[in-house]
C-alpha cells in the first residue's frame, strides 16, 4: 500500500506529459512485477494506425523515453498486434494474450471519449492476478485523468493546438537539446567538425494573410472555421515530433525538431502549398506567410522569436504567401540585425 501511495503522489505531482509517462510505467512495472512496460502512441497516418513506443522500462533498469525522431518510420502497423487492433476496434478497456512460453502481454488503451491515441503495454512472465488487474486499473484511471487535465491546460480551446502558455517550456527543452548540436565552439573546447549539412532545431512563425478581410467580409464564425482548418493543415503537414502552437488571433508558431535547413524548408513549404491549394468553405482561397530561424542555445528566446518575426514581416511586405529564412535574408543584405520586434503588427 505504501508503494502504491508513493507512486500515486509521484504521478499527481507532474505537470508534464513526458514525466507522467515515466511515472506511470514505473508504477505499473513495480506493482505488477512486470518484466517490461511501455507507453505506446497510436498514430493515424494516411488512414492507417501505427503503434510506436514513446517510453520504456525493463525490470531492474530505470524508465526512459524512446527516441521518436525518425520521421520515415511511423511505427509498426497495428495489424501486427491483432489482439490490440481488435481491442481498439471494439472500444474495449483492455486485451490480454499469452505467447507459447506462457508470457502474458496486457494492453490498456487510454480512452479519452471515443478516441485512444495512447496505450499501456505490460509484459509479465506469469498470468495477472485479479488484485494486480485491480491496482493497475486504478493507476490507469489516474493516468487518464491527468493526461486529460494536462491536455486541457496546454491546448487552445478553438483549434486544439498547444497554447502560448505551453510554448515557453517546449522552447526551453529545445534550447537545452540544441546545446549538443550547436556549431559554436566555446573557449577551451576543441574545434568541432561537421560532415554534411548539420541538423538543427527550428522555430517558424505562421500568419494568415488578409485574415482581417476574412472576418470583415464573411464574419467571425467563418473566420474561426478558417483557423480550425489551418490548424488541421499544420498538424497534417508537420511531423509527429514537431510542436505546433496557436499564439492567438491568426498567428501560429511551430517548433521543428532536429532536421537540416533543406528539410526544414521542404516541410514548411509543403505546409504553405497545402494551405494555398485548400478550398475553404464559403471563403475560398486563403494563404499564409511564414518566417523561420534556427534555434541557438546562445540566444535568448525573445531574440529567436524576434528574428522569426522579422523574416515573417519581410514575407508579409513582399507579396505574402511566402516562406522566408531569417539567416538567408540577413546574409543577402535584405534584413538588418535589430532588436526583437515584439510589437510588430502583420497585415
Burial level of 91, CB count in 10 A (0-12/13-18/19+)? exposed
Pairing outcome for strands 200-208 and 104-109: unpaired
Which residues does 269 contact at the CB level (< 8 Å), separation at least 6?
A: 323
Distance CA 259, CA 271 (A): 16
Distance CA 122, CA 104 (A): 8
Active site (catalytic) residues:
250
Q: What does DSSP assign to residue 342?
A: T
315 contacts 289 by C-beta, under 8 angstroms: yes
Q: What does DSSP assign to residue 79?
A: G
Residue 126 CB coordination number (10 Å)? 12
Label residues 171-197 b or e (16+ Cβ within 10 Å = b): bebbbeebeebbeeeeeeeeeeeeeee
Q: Where are the beta strands (DSSP E) in the chain?
A: 36-45, 48-58, 64-65, 76-77, 95-98, 104-109, 118-124, 162-163, 200-208, 243-248, 251-259, 288-294, 323-325
User: Distances in Å between the alpha carbon of 56 and those of 28, 36, 40, 220?
Assistant: 11, 7, 9, 45
Residue that is written with C-alpha cell 512495472 in the block: 29
| Helix segments in 104-186, DSSP class H | 130-154, 164-181
Residues across the chain: 347
Amino acid at each position: 500500500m505504501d508503494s502504491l501511495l508513493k507512486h500515486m503522489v509521484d504521478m499527481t505531482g507532474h505537470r508534464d506529459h513526458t514525466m507522467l509517462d515515466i511515472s506511470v510505467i514505473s508504477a505499473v512495472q513495480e506493482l505488477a512485477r512486470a518484466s517490461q512496460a511501455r507507453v505506446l502512441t497510436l498514430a493515424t497516418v494516411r488512414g492507417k494506425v501505427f503503434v510506436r513506443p514513446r517510453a520504456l522500462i525493463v525490470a531492474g533498469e530505470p524508465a526512459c523515453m524512446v527516441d521518436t525522431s525518425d520521421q520515415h518510420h511511423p511505427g509498426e502497423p497495428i495489424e501486427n498486434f491483432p489482439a490490440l487492433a481488435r481491442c481498439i476496434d471494439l472500444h474495449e478497456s483492455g486485451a490480454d494474450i499469452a505467447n507459447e512460453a506462457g508470457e502474458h502481454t496486457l494492453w490498456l488503451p487510454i480512452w479519452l471519449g471515443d478516441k485512444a491515441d495512447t496505450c499501456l503495454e505490460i509484459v509479465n512472465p506469469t498470468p495477472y492476478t485479479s488484485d494486480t488487474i485491480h491496482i493497475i486499473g486504478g493507476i490507469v484511471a489516474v493516468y487518464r485523468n491527468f493526461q486529460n487535465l494536462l491536455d486541457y491546460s496546454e491546448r487552445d480551446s478553438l483549434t486544439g493546438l498547444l497554447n502560448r502558455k505551453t510554448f515557453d517550456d517546449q522552447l526551453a527543452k529545445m534550447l537545452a537539446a540544441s546545446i549538443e548540436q550547436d556549431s559554436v565552439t566555446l573557449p577551451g573546447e576543441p574545434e568541432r567538425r561537421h560532415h554534411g549539412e548539420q541538423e538543427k532545431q527550428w522555430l517558424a512563425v505562421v500568419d494568415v494573410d488578409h485574415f482581417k478581410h476574412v472576418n470583415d467580409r464573411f464574419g467571425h464564425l467563418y473566420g474561426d472555421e478558417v483557423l480550425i482548418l489551418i490548424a488541421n493543415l499544420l498538424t497534417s503537414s508537420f511531423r509527429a515530433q514537431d510542436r505546433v502552437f496557436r499564439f492567438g488571433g491568426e498567428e501560429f508558431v511551430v517548433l521543428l525538431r532536429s532536421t537540416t535547413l533543406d528539410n526544414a524548408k521542404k516541410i514548411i513549404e509543403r505546409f504553405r502549398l497545402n494551405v494555398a491549394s485548400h478550398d475553404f468553405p464559403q471563403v475560398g482561397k486563403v494563404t499564409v506567410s511564414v518566417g523561420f530561424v534556427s534555434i541557438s542555445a546562445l540566444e535568448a528566446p525573445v531574440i529567436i522569436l524576434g528574428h522569426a518575426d522579422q523574416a515573417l514581416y519581410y514575407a508579409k511586405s513582399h507579396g505574402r504567401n511566402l516562406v522566408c529564412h531569417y539567416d538567408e535574408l540577413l546574409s543577402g543584405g535584405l534584413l538588418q540585425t535589430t532588436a526583437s520586434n515584439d510589437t510588430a503588427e502583420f497585415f
